[in-house]
Amino acid sequence: MLASNSQLDSWIAERVGTAFHLMGTCPMGPASDPSAVVDARCQVHGLAGLSVVDTAILPVPVSRGPAATAIMIGERAAKFFG
């Protein structure tokens, strides 16, 4: 039993965490966009043969968990490389 607000605060701080999904660290966009890293075919601008195929290419975060989006990215990219 928690006897005080400070005990409750401590209990919550020890047990509560966050769950977030990193994405958008290598956003897709045209080569003219200084923040874009890859093109529409997942190829890194200016580096032949290098691709990024995960949620890093998303220029904006998705509103739900990114698993289905990551699968779609992989399936689409497989068509480019296969």
For 59, other C-beta atoms within 10 Å of its C-beta total 15
Residue 5: exposed, middle, or buried by beta-carbon count in 10 A (0-12, 13-18, 19+)?
A: exposed
Q: Which residues are catalytic?
A: 21
